[in-house]
Structure 1
């Protein structure tokens, strides 16, 4: 499913863009749209999107500032700016934006942009972007980008998400979690943790600083292997 987020403080423009998207996609693919009137509201929601359309000229947190925060947490989301002035297109390059739209938004231009977005989302990533776990309440699926880390604590596996929510996985071992998540960008820095490399901010000594502010311990026995995997991951990100 293509997940789209729109942040625009002018309600009429927001409505117009939503309508354009619905007409352009025309039920050809499964999609969802989530609307926001302020940048901080979108940021606090911590939703994971495939495409975000951001108004550059919003009061408070403007679209460029919001894009910087989003890009810190998500290196793959497609970012599109909307603005009254074409001179702002330079901002698009500094956050690796997918494009920009000038108000009033042209329906044909937006339709073409949406088609490009669908084309550039890797089918492989769409196939592997969700994982399932068993909880007391039943089976729940998670987008890979939603998961910060897993922690073994008090004989339970705690799944920590990007939205600062925690889930307790039912009757599972950390070794099984490690094996399952090793197919993706998850590694074991410590016998009690499996972490998502996408959210490692930096490593200092035997502490791993996660982008949400949490600090994960790095054991001496795992230090060399972890640092090597992190270096390989970062190099891969540079080369993509």
Structure 2
């Protein structure tokens, strides 16, 4: 399954946010993007989510777009930042923060689509392999996210299972891992498990059936949520 692109729009003009959102959906299609809207810089900073692309306004109350872009660059050098502003005087400062583009208000859809053309090519090239690091019983390991089948909590430790039958152990919680891996479409069918949705073959009664005939239990409280997530993933895969 191809990873959806994650977009954030941060602008105190709600109507303008909705306009950008509608343009992004028109360009990619609704099933290929996840879009979050923030009407203040403070709310955006609190979100602490990794986005592929962030649209920022310059003139906002309290935290402005330049301040937010500076904060982003302190912890994320890869996210594409696009400034949308009616104030061209900030362009030089913005480009020093390595923003991807600086679009003028009122927003021209043709110019936006050209920017998305260029950015999408780079996103497709950069997202072929995504890696995460773990401090395990084998030392610090770097694993490709797509190779992780599932996590299991057992005896106060996490067991990480990969598609090549490797198992790594480390201390963590399913809750924290769920927060960390939700951007990669991992789901938690049970308080002791976190599963890569790409490896689900079927749902049978109260169990998930993964590749290699691995059976993962589904708690009664999560059955509908997990079924809906799985069917949604299948639908998006068919739309690719």
State the TM-score bracket (shorter-chain normalisation): 0.5 to 0.7
Give the match for residue 26 of structure 1. Answer: 29
Measure, in 2, the Cα distance between the counterparts of 1:139 and 1:114. Answer: 40
Deviates more, 1:104-113 or 1:124-133: 124-133
Report the alpha carbon displacement of residue 106 of structure 1 after superposing the two structures with TM: 0.6
CA distance in 2, matches of 1:123, 1:56: 29
Residues 155-177 of structure 1: CA distance to partner in whole angstroms, max 9, x if unpaired?
x345867x799x9x979xxxxxx
Q: Helix, strand or coil: the match of 1:105? A: coil
CA contact (8 A) 1:92 1:98 kept: no
Q: Distance in 2 between matches of 1:25 and 1:109?
A: 15
2:5 matches 1:2: yes
Unaligned runs of 5+ in 1: 141-150, 172-240
Pair 1:157–1:26, CA change in 2 (3 A): closer
Are the aligned partners of 1:49 and 1:77 in contact in 2 as well (CA < 8 Å)?
yes
Q: Would the alpha carbon gap of residues 164 and 32 (structure 1) be closer, same or farther in structure 2, given more than 3 Å must change?
A: closer
3-state DSSP class of the match of 1:126? Answer: coil
Question: What is the aligned partner in structure 1 of residue 38 from structure 2?
Answer: 36
TM-score computed with the length of structure 1 as normaliser: 0.56
Question: TM-score scaled by structure 2?
Answer: 0.56
- In the alignment, the residues of structure 2 paired with residue 105 and residue 83 of structure 1 have an alpha-carbon distance, to the nearest angstrom, of 9
CA contact (8 A) 1:39 1:66 kept: yes
- Deviation, structure 1 residue 116: 1.1
- Kindly indicate whether the alpha-carbon contact (under 8 Å) linking 1:53 and 1:80 is maintained by their aligned counterparts in 2: yes
| 1:135 equivalent in alignment to 2:152 | yes
Once residues 51 and 44 of structure 1 are traced to their aligned partners in structure 2, the CA distance between those partners, rounded to angstroms, is 17
Please say which of residues 102-111 and 117-126 is displaced more in the overlay: 117-126
Contact preservation (8 Å) 1:80, 1:99: yes
Unmatched 5+ stretches in structure 2: 132-144, 161-168, 182-187, 194-240
| RMSD of aligned residue pairs (Cα, Å) | 3.5
CA distance in 2, matches of 1:37, 1:45: 12
Q: How does 1:85-124 map to 2 (within 5 A)?
A: 85-123=87-125
